[in-house]
Amino acid sequence: MFGSKEKHAEEHFPVEKSEAEWQAELSPEAFRVLRQHGTERPGTSPLNAEKRPGTFVCAGCGTPMFDAATKFESGTGWPSFWAPIEGAVATRTDRSFFMSRTEVHCATCGGHLGHVFPDGPAPTGQRYCMNGVALGFKPAQ
């Protein structure tokens, strides 16, 4: 579970719904990840193999999160990107599991997406390691 739930509960986002509304709209796994800060098992998301041009969006609110051109194979078992779409994500310190990591969430609805690590490829050196169940994919037209 997320380490600073009290702080998270005080934050406000452009899209806000009750937990009951989120639960009714999301699959049980998407709810667990997006709203309860869970993590999907590595290698389970079909989005990990997605290679088409397009946009990865927040599964909670549909906000565009990552351009497919920034996706790379990290070998971790989760979809990974070297940069988000500007303004799409926000971060906070996650001190759960006796470690300190940078948690990434949707700037529009606050849904937990994953974590960012400083071991990614050029040009940013960042690895946005995202839960596939927290994302959707819209192919380019």
Q: What is the mean pLDDT of residues 26-43?
A: 95
pLDDT: is 99 or 23 the higher one? Answer: 23
What is the model's pLDDT at position 92?
A: 82
Give the pTM.
Answer: 0.88
The whole-angstrom separation of Cα 57 and Cα 70 is 13
- Span 42-56, average pLDDT: 95
In which band, very low, low, confident or very high, does the pLDDT at 11 lie, cut at 50, 70 and 90?
confident
Residue 93 has pLDDT above 90, yes or no: no
Question: Could you tell me the domains of the chain?
Answer: 5-139 (2.170.150.20)
Quote the CA–CA distance of 91 and 117 in Å, as a whole number. 12
- Asked if residue 121 has pLDDT above 70, the reply is yes
pLDDT at residue 85 above 60?
yes
pLDDT(130) > 70: yes
Please give the average per-residue pLDDT across 129-141, as a whole number: 97
Helix intervals (H) in 2-137: 5-10, 19-25, 28-34
Known catalytic residues? Answer: 129
Q: Could you give the CA distance from residue 107 to residue 83 in angstroms, rounded to a whole number?
A: 15
Tell me how far the alpha carbon of residue 21 is from its chain's centroid.
Answer: 20
Look at residue 2 in the predicted model and tell me its pLDDT: 37
